[in-house]
Amino acid sequence: MKVIIAEKPSVGREIAKVFGATTKKDGYIEGKGYTFTWAFGHLLQLAPPQEYGYFGWSVQNLPMLPPKFKLSIRKVKSKDGMIEDPGVKKQLDIIKALFDEATEIIVATDAGREGELIFRYIYYYLKCKKPFKRLWISSQTDAAIKEGFRNLKPGTDYDTLFNSAHCRSQSDWLVGMNATQALSLASGNKGVLSLGRVQTPTLAMICSRYLENKNFVPQTYFQVAIQPDKDGQSFRAIHDKNFKTCEEAQVVLDAVLPTGNILSVEAKPRKEPPPLLHDLSSLQQEANKRKGFTADHTLSLLQNLYEGKLVTYPRTGSRYIGDDVFAGVPALIDGFKEHADFGKQAALLSGAKLSKRSVNAKKVTDHHAILPTGEKPYQLSADQQAVYDMVAGRMLEAFHQDCIKEITKITVLSGNKFMASGTVIQTPGWRAVFNDKDEEKKDEENATLPKVVQGEELPIINKGILEKQTKPKPLYNEATLLKALETAGKEIEDEELREAMKEGGLGTPATRAAIIETLLKRTFIAREKKNLVPTPTGLAVYEIVKNQQIAQAELTGSWEKRLEEIRGGASVAAFQEEIKSYTREITQELLRSGKGMAAKVTA
DNA sequence: GCAAGGTC
């Protein structure tokens, strides 16, 4: 009997379907001489400190450097504290029984570092010795699965990938557990002051932006505006210079004549291509902007829709689909012809030439972009419906035509030169789906300018000085923070580190919502209207760590670079030694500097 | 009581 193990039930079932296996059992499916089972993501985790003899939280234990890491079953909170997750335990027993019967195992966890780790942790925890092969596919269509099975790889081909995954896992444990205990203990053990490779740079970003915003000193500046009139339709034109003083502006104002001469009129069409399909992060950002949903809430709504088979896999980091999935898109679009809000646009797109901007198999990673499945939704909650419509609407947008705008620039001479600009949408294209205002241009005045020609002389019906102030960068909200986490590392000076981070940023699509929730749970940050702002505790932690490596996105960059080298065959031991040495260092440093917190965190 | 990673 050959056993195929997937990362999650949906993929296990999909593969079973391709094989024509139909006998459903508890936790697996049988048929055609194969057995198809699955994990639920990580079933196992590195064992907590007490399993190595580090009892309680104590300076004497620090730094905790287990000579050999152990694995333990994923825990869940219950009324008696943390207990082994019963569902996980049960599935692990099922997997064990199947592995015991197996002649061969086929690994079908997601094609990536964590997917490899999910399987290997199970395999080593169960002390399994059976041979295994690897299925490596990035699309779960029938054709891709069949092709993958014709091309199974030897399991050992992925040993170095497992090594890099295991190092990632151990390093996060060592640095996170030790730094957390060190700071918590040093500050008087009044509560958990957690630190980690991802959460601490995230906290630092929120704090640093908050302080920058709070300490910002606005500068006043002055602009000079005139209002020419063309046959009763007036518009505003502004002198292109900003003045530091009102007096300087007054000079320009005084020079304004009773009329203005049109020096030039420039009208240029601009094509605006449709947006890409959604990945999790972009959808979380949109749901936060449109509906004020938190990243966590959006993820859980999407998980519901996914379990109801209404949308494809949600925790994806790709905004593209392959050609195989694209082949099914026209039928999906047809399915929305009756939709209350965008039925008209679906009908318009039906049979039209579709934009292929979101079609690129090379940019599909473990999973493709989020799409509706074509199943008809039934009795969705208002929030579920809202998210579902964002997925469906984005699909219509992504395959729609360009939006064509006309951008007009008018230069008027009246003593000095004044400029007016306006944007008019000529063909809405993809913008017709939601019919939203263009966010960036919302403030811009003169959306429509009157038709004027060069050489025309227009009366100036009004003129004046505008007093304005420079504005600070805005505080982070969930949408802008998610974006910042995605792009974290883009500013790093070291080219190699920047390169190592360019794929991922900080955290992963699956974990970013949880990171924000962790910082809220620790009361390091709080929600203030739509913004995320630090609390006094968060700021105190930031003050202690802000100049240390653990608060920099670069730490992830340097790890990613080394982990990639390990995947290519480089020494595991060398990296592990460096991590241990860094762990000793940061533990010492925090035990010392954390004392400065003691006074600040007395609640 | 603690990390980051995955998922129901």
| A321-340 confidence digits (pLDDT tens) | 999 899 999 999 999 999 88
Lowest-confidence segment of A22-31, A139-148, A477-486, A580-589 by average pLDDT: A139-148
User: Confidence band (pLDDT; 50, 70, 90) for A86?
Assistant: very high
Give the CA-to-C1' distance from A140 to B6 in angstroms: 18
* Cα(A430)–Cα(A262) distance, integer angstroms: 35
What is the reported pLDDT for A441? 52
C1'-nearest nucleotide to the CA of A77: B1
Which CATH homologous superfamily contains domain A280-397?
Topoisomerase I, domain 4 (1.10.290.10)
Q: What topology is assigned to A220-273+403-469 in CATH? A: Topoisomerase I; domain 3 (2.70.20)
Mean pLDDT of A253-280: 94
What is the residue extent of each domain of chain A?
A: 2-151, 166-215+474-597, 220-273+403-469, 280-397
Q: Distances from the Cα of A347 to the Cαs of A273, A333, A336, A427, in angstroms? A: 20, 8, 8, 17
Contact between the CB of A262 and strand B at under 7 Å:
no
Nearest Cα residue to A225 out of A470, A471, A461: A461
Distance between CA atoms of A130 and A42, rounded to whole angstroms?
21
A603 band by pLDDT with thresholds 50, 70 and 90: very low
Rounded Cα distance between A542 and A551, Å, is 8
Q: What element of type H or E holds A259?
A: strand A259-272
pLDDT of A439 higher than 60:
no
CATH for A2-151 (3.40.50.140, 3.40.50.1820, 3.30.300.90, 3.90.550.10) = 3.40.50.140
Point out the least confidently predicted range of A361-365, A473-477, A521-525: A361-365
Separation of A196 CA and B4 C1' (Å): 8
Catalytic residue among A121, A210, A313, A476, which?
A313
Query: pLDDT for A207-244, tens place per residue?
Result: 999 999 999 999 999 999 999 999 999 999 999 999 99
Q: Give me the pLDDT at residue A365, please.
A: 74
Distance A477 CA to B4 C1' (A): 23
pLDDT in tens, A367-396: 899 999 999 999 999 999 999 999 999 999
Which nucleotide in the DNA or RNA is closest to residue A46, CA to C1'? B3
| List of residues 6+ apart from A509 with CB closer than 8 A | A279, A280, A281, A315, A316, A317
Is the minimum distance from the CB of A9 to strand B below 7 Å?
yes
Task: Please provide the distance, in angstroms rounded to a whole number, between the alpha carbons at the two ends of chain A.
Answer: 61
Segment A132-141 mean pLDDT:
88
Q: How many CB atoms lie within 10 A of CB A387?
A: 30
Asked if A166-215+474-597 and A220-273+403-469 have one fold, the answer is no
User: What pLDDT does A3 receive?
Assistant: 97
Residue A252 CA distance to nucleotide B5 C1' (Å): 61
- The pLDDT > 90 percentage for chain A reads 85
Q: How many helices (H) and strands (E) does chain A have?
A: 19, 20
Nucleotides on strand B with an atom closer than 7 A to protein CB? 1-8
Active site residue A313: yes
The residues of A between 14 and 43 with beta carbon within 7 Å of nucleic strand B are 40-43
Q: What Å distances lie between residue A371 and A203, A273, A283, CA to CA?
A: 32, 19, 11
Mean pLDDT, to the nearest integer, of A30-35? 93
A87, closest nucleotide (Cα–C1'): B8
Average pLDDT, chain A: 93
Q: Which residue is nearest to nucleotide B1 (CA to C1')?
A: A192
> What pLDDT, on a 0 to 100 scale, did the predictor assign at position A576?
96
Domain A166-215+474-597 class in CATH: mainly alpha
What's the CA A84/C1' B7 distance, rounded, in angstroms? 15
Query: For A40-61, how does the pLDDT look when each residue is reduced to its tens digit (9 = 90+)?
Result: 999 999 999 999 999 999 999 9
pLDDT at A553 over 70: yes
Helix, strand, or coil (residue A561): helix
pLDDT at A599: 65
pLDDT at A442: 47
Q: How far apart are CA A15 and CA A307, in angstroms?
A: 17
Cβ-based contacts (< 7 Å) between A 294-313 and strand B: 303, 306-307, 313
A599 contact to strand B (CB, 7 A limit): no
Residue A351 confidence (pLDDT) = 86
Q: For A498-513, write each residue's pLDDT tens digit.
A: 888 877 799 999 999 9
pLDDT above 70 as % of chain A: 97
Q: Which residue is nearest to nucleotide B6 (CA to C1')?
A: A41
Find which nucleotide's C1' atom is closest to A508's CA. B5
Band of the pLDDT at A598, cuts 50, 70, 90? low
A110 touches strand B (CB under 7 A): yes
Name the nucleotide with the smallest C1'–CA separation from A43. B6
What pLDDT score was predicted for residue A538?
Answer: 97
Q: Is the CB of A86 under 7 A from strand B?
A: no
pLDDT at A64 over 90: yes
Q: Which nucleotide is nearest to A110 (CA to C1')?
A: B6
